């Protein structure tokens, strides 16, 4: 298959979805496959992976599914080895797993605080830890980490664990990018804003608006200068650029995908 990622092997974590539609992981995996990459689809939920795999296979793409808890170091090492076994190499890693919980330091209990750091930040650390030796041995690769505008600004809700972890993803990516630039490994971050992904219906509406999806969507859209919400496909196309040879001179930076929200001060 021809395309911008022809002949490349990629791992996309969080490649399932919380429901129908375009989550960041599902969309990224589909775009990668369309552009010629072989993709290891990773999630902890086999049922969530099935629609993603079916979508890509029906379009003629090459995928292998793999179950993994990306907060477990041994499991992440196994994930990287599974990609090497399936494809012979690992050219691209997309660390996409994440999820928010409401509350500032008073409201957020300590176990949830630690869970937020594990899910959103330690998962990225572990992905980098286990894939970098493989990429270094190969002579290079590309890592794209998914953060959030919550790591840059207040975005309308106290979610201190999520915000702190996503800010950490951005700085982790910068440090790793500089350290491993001599190895030919590029590391960048995509920073999505308030997108309409399946997570809105599955979790956020219950956390933020008493289950009223329409109210939450109106509130989120009002913050966006472009006047509409993107979805996971917008994240995916940003990831594609950073993973592709077109970004050969881009490392240690962030690509914000938010319709202008963080540029506006109000």
- List active site positions: 162
H/E element, 126: helix 123-138
Query: Minimal CA–CA distance to 249: which of 172, 190, 170, 188?
Result: 188
User: Helices 232-243 and 24-34: crossing angle, nearest 10°?
Assistant: 50
Query: Minimal CA–CA distance to 232: which of 257, 204, 261?
Result: 257
Measure the CA–CA gap between 77 and 16, rounded to whole angstroms: 20
Measure the CA–CA gap between 200 and 27, rounded to whole angstroms: 16
Determine contact, residues 251/175, Cβ cutoff 8 Å. no
H/E element, 254: strand 254-257
Work out the widest C-alpha separation in the chain, in whole angstroms: 53
> At a CB cut-off of 8 Å and minimum separation 6, what does 15 contact?
25, 26, 28, 29, 39, 41, 42, 43, 49, 52, 96
What is the β-pairing status of strands 62-67 and 92-95?
unpaired
The two tokens of residue 26 are 């599902």
Distances in Å between the alpha carbon of 127 and those of 4, 80, 119, 183? Answer: 23, 8, 12, 17
């Amino acid at each position: 298959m021809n395309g911008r990622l022809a002949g490349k092997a990629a791992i996309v974590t969080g490649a399932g979805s919380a429901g129908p539609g375009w989550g960041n992981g599902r969309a990224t995996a589909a775009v990668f496959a369309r552009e010629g990459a072989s993709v290891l689809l990773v999630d902890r939920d086999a049922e969530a992976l099935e629609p993603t795999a079916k979508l890509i296979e029906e379009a003629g793409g090459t995928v292998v599914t793999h179950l993994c808890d990306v907060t477990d170091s041994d499991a992440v090492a196994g994930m990287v080895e599974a990609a090497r076994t399936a494809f012979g190499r690992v050219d691209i890693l997309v660390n996409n797993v994440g999820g928010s919980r409401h509350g500032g330091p008073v409201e957020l209990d300590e176990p949830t605080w630690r869970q937020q750091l594990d899910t959103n930040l330690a998962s990225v650390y572990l992905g980098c830890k286990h894939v970098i030796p493989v990429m270094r041995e190969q002579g290079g690769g590309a890592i794209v980490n998914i953060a959030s505008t919550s790591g840059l600004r207040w975005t309308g809700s106290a979610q201190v664990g999520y915000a702190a972890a996503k800010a950490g993803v951005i700085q982790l990516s910068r440090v790793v990018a500089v350290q491993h630039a001599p190895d030919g490994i590029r590391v960048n971050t995509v920073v999505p804003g308030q997108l309409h992904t399946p997570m809105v219906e599955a979790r956020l509406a219950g956390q933020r608006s008493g289950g009223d999806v329409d109210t939450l969507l109106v509130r989120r859209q009002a913050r966006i200068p472009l006047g509409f919400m993107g979805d996971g496909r917008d994240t995916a196309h940003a990831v594609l650029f950073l993973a592709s040879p077109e970004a050969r001179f881009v490392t240690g930076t962030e690509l914000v995908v938010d319709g202008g929200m963080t540029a506006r001060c109000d």
